[in-house]
Amino acid sequence: MDYLPCEIVETSTTIDAAVIWLHGLGASGHDFVPIIPELQLPDDLGIRFVFPHAPSIPVTINGGMVMPAWYDILAMDMERKIDTEQILASASAVIDLVEREIAAGISSERIILAGFSQGGAVVYQAALSYDKPLAGLLALSTYFATHKTLAPAVANQNIPIQLFHGTMDPVVPEVMAQQALQALTALGHKPDYKTYPMQHEVCLQEIHDISAWLQQILRA
Residues tagged active-site: 117, 169, 200
**Left (φ > 0), alpha (ψ -120 to 50) or beta: where does 117 sit?**
left
β-pairing, 17-22 vs 111-116, is: parallel
Q: Which long-range contacts (CB under 8 A, 24 or more apart) does 60-65 make?
A: 62/26
In DSSP terms, which residues pair with 125 in a beta bridge? none
| 13 class by beta-carbon count within 10 Å (0-12 exposed, 13-18 middle, 19+ buried) | exposed
Residue-wise DSSP of 51-81: EEPPPEEEEGGGTTEEEE-SS-B---STT--
Rounded Cα gap, residues 2 and 141, in angstroms? 29
